[in-house]
Structure 1
Amino acid sequence: MNVFIRRYLPVMILLLFVALSVGLFLNRSQPQQKVAEAIMPVLEVVAIKKQQYPFDINSYGMVQPKHQAEIVVQVSGIVDRVAPLFAVGQFVRKGDILAYLDDDDYHADLAQARATLAQAKALLEQEIARGIVAKKSLRNIATAKQSALGLRIPQRQQQQANVKFAQAALARAQRNVMRTIITAPFDGLITEKHINVGSHVNIGEQLGMIYGTDMARIRLPVTPQAFSFIDSNPLNTSVTLSSQPHAQAVQQWSARFIGTEEVIDPQTRMIYLLVDVTDPYQLTLPNQQRTEVLNFGTFVTAKIAAKPIANAVRLQRHMIRNEHVVLVGANGRTQMRKVEIARTDLEHAYISAGLDEGELVSITWPDNHLEGTTVKTVLNKPLLRSTDLKQQPALTVIHSKVADNGE
């Protein structure tokens, strides 16, 4: 018996443990199945509201005189005197005397021309008298037999021609005397001076340079795409110039839009607008009232009022990718929509077509976005309230290639 117990007891204990394990496994409690809740993306959206947006086209240019001329001499000679006005930086009026040339020889030529004319006139009077005498002496001869030479008609015509020649020579001598006095051709600013007392000048030699101060002209480059937004009527296009020299307060001037150069620059592919500023140096005002003088050579920026964009939508540029936006429909599903970009600036894009009033546009692009995804929406404040429209700054157009492509 003891042998049986010692031999089979371990086997019985093993079978007992196996039976208990099977019983526990069969009677274990089943775990509860939990249904996984689907995570729905949340998008921040804005409601579309169409408005009319005014904007400016930005450009830049250098202030130049509308009229400028070289001061040249029409006779040769020695510079006798130079007027104090003939100096760089001096303002002159039309007709102001700038310099004198030595005119002794020209006065001598003038006296000689007067004497020649007097001599020619005397010879003409003598020839007229001879013609009268010849006509009386031939009065008994038939008219058909009278010759022009006998009546001294050719001789009289020759003397008349000599008088006209002498008169022309006298007029030339008088002009040469006047040309020894160098005067300003128009109101202007002396910018160059190349002579001094004692200098010898020849006909056509440049004595200096003068800039007309009645009108300043600025060439403003714009892209052809930006130019399409400018009103063709110059009267409807206002231009404001501004400059901030030497960290001083910003100065502004109103300019008049004249037109364009009617060509596209072959190198820059720009269209140049022409604007004028009347009396840039304010010379028509007293000295104490000249506050905003526009000096020639000043670099200015220009704001050109363009035609407004009607029924447009303003979106932040990051909301648009490859000319598409993400919309959320009434059923809560997303969809891609292609839009037409009219203009862009540094922060915003202005959509002219592709969106309807009241539609919801996502402010951000969802990661791994699939069209038709169901999302939750959080409505942001409107892009622009109608009451705030007048307070919005004008849209500034940038002339970069990126902006023109609507990127």
Structure 2
Amino acid sequence: MSVFIRRYLPVVILLLFVGLSAGLLLNRPQPQQKIVETMVPVLEVVQVKKQQLAFNVNAYGMVKPKHQAELVTQVSGIVNRLAPAFAVGQFVQKDDVLAYLDDDDYHADLAQAQATLAQAKALLEQEIARGIVAKKTLRHVATTKQSALGLRIPQRKQQQANVNFAKAALARAQRNVDRTIITAPFDGLITEKHINVGSHVNIGEQLGHIYGTDIARVRLPVTPRSFSFIDQNPLNTTVVLSNESHANERHGQALQHWTARFIGTEGIIDPQTRMVYLIVDVIDPYQLRLSEQQRTDVLNFGTFVTAKIAAKPIANAIKLQRHMVRDNHVVLVDANGVTQMRKVVIARMDLEHAYIRAGLDEGELVSLTWPDNHLEGTVVTTVLTSPKLIGPPVLTVIPSKVADSGE
């Protein structure tokens, strides 16, 4: 008996230990289910809408007159009298008298030229009469033997030439008399005056400067790329000028606007700035054709203006905030709430917006933000935002409880 116990007791003990261990394992308590919080990004998105988009090309320039001229004299003399309108800042009309020069000597020259012409005409009449007498005297002489000198034909031509010469001298003397009266060459604004009563002026001396007030001209520099967006047909392109907006808004002043007429370009790319210069005109900038009570938005020469030039519209385009596009890509959220990168074709960009020509379909959702450390294929929760309510980009995350088993 003792031998049997000694031989099989270890086996029995081992089996009891194995059975006890199995029972403990089978009867152990089950681990409780643990709730794990997973952070799911929330993206603000806008729904893509295709439309025909119209936009402007902005440019800046200074208002200058289309016509301007130096007032010079074509005769010399002493300034006898100045018109009240010949003063800096005064508006004048075409042919208004500005100044008078001493014309006594020129009237004397005119009288002398008149006398010379009268004398030449008298000599011509005498020569014509002599020619008639000579012709009668030689009427019995054969025509082949009659000489031109005998008929006094050269003498009559000489006197006719003297008459023509005297007429030219008279016309010159009359012009010199007229030139002693200085007049405005066109409707304009006097900007400079260099003479006074008693001043002696010589031929070609500058008397003053005048700006034409019929048309104001503005040169607008734009880049060649911006110029490609503009319809070069003046009938299809509208231009609106305004004064310096920020300065007026800060001081509470109302903005002024002027409609300009698009003329075209200067035909070249400036070799130094590499810009294309557009030419626009404003008719009657000082509104002189209106009464003083009707003059509201006067456009002064020298004003620095902002120009909005209507560009060619883009058909079936999508307008997005500029920060939504990086390196020609946007963050798209599909119907399953999964993000993906999408390459787009940009028609143009300005300071605030990007205009997408291709790459997006109607109704797709585009994220307003670019999440940090974004990985394509991320599951997100979307918040649809109206395009009209788009504000500063915001990225938020909220906890979402997801059941997960674990120790």
Q: TM-score, normalised by structure 1?
A: 0.82
2:334 aligns with: 329
2:270 aligns with: 265
Is the 1:66–1:216 contact (alpha carbons within 8 Å) kept by the matching residues of 2? yes
- Matched residues in 2 for 1:190 and 1:368: separation? 67
Q: Of 332, 339, 344, which residue of structure 1 is paired with 2:344?
A: 339
Deviation (angstroms), 1:319: 2.0
- Matched residues in 2 for 1:174 and 1:103: separation? 11
Write out aligned runs for 1:8-407 (5 A).
Answer: 39=38, 41-44=40-43, 45-243=45-243, 247=251, 248-371=253-376, 373-383=377-387
Deviation (angstroms), 1:249: 2.1
Deviation (angstroms), 1:294: 1.2
What does the per-residue CA deviation read over 1:125-183, in whole Å, with 9 as the maximum and x for residues that have no partner?
11111111211222221111111111111111011001000000001001100100101
- Matched residues in 2 for 1:294 and 1:47: separation? 44
Deviation (angstroms), 1:375: 0.9
- Matched residues in 2 for 1:315 and 1:249: separation? 31
* Matched pairs, number: 362
Structure 1 counterpart SS, 2:387: coil
Q: What stretches of structure 1 of length at least 5 have no aligned partner?
A: 1-22, 389-407
- Matched residues in 2 for 1:33 and 1:39: separation? 19
Structure 1 range deviating more: 206-215 or 266-275: 266-275
Structure 2 counterpart SS, 1:114: helix
1:13 aligns with: none
- Matched residues in 2 for 1:374 and 1:81: separation? 89
RMSD: 2.7
- Matched residues in 2 for 1:87 and 1:368: separation? 71
- The residue identity in structure 1 corresponding to 2:186 is F
Structure 2 counterpart SS, 1:258: strand
Structure 2 counterpart SS, 1:268: coil
- Matched residues in 2 for 1:364 and 1:293: separation? 46
Is the 1:64–1:297 contact (alpha carbons within 8 Å) kept by the matching residues of 2? yes
Deviation (angstroms), 1:31: 9.1
Deviation (angstroms), 1:77: 1.2
Deviation (angstroms), 1:54: 2.2
- The residue identity in structure 2 corresponding to 1:42 is P
- The residue identity in structure 1 corresponding to 2:49 is K
Deviation (angstroms), 1:51: 2.2
Deviation (angstroms), 1:358: 2.0
Deviation (angstroms), 1:345: 2.8
1:394 aligns with: none
Is the 1:263–1:271 contact (alpha carbons within 8 Å) kept by the matching residues of 2? yes
Is the 1:40–1:374 contact (alpha carbons within 8 Å) kept by the matching residues of 2? no
Is the 1:41–1:374 contact (alpha carbons within 8 Å) kept by the matching residues of 2? no
Deviation (angstroms), 1:262: 1.9
- The percent of aligned pairs where both chains have the same amino acid is 75
- Matched residues in 2 for 1:205 and 1:87: separation? 18
- The residue identity in structure 1 corresponding to 2:316 is N
- Matched residues in 2 for 1:367 and 1:31: separation? 41
What does the per-residue CA deviation read over 1:60-83, in whole Å, with 9 as the maximum and x for residues that have no partner?
211111111111111111111111
Is the 2:337–2:382 contact (alpha carbons within 8 Å) kept by the matching residues of 1? no
Deviation (angstroms), 1:237: 2.0
- Matched residues in 1 for 2:337 and 2:186: separation? 74
What does the per-residue CA deviation read over 1:251-287, in whole Å, with 9 as the maximum and x for residues that have no partner?
2222222222222222222222222211111112222
Q: What stretches of structure 2 of length at least 5 have no aligned partner?
A: 1-19, 391-407
2:8 aligns with: none
Is the 2:91–2:190 contact (alpha carbons within 8 Å) kept by the matching residues of 1? yes
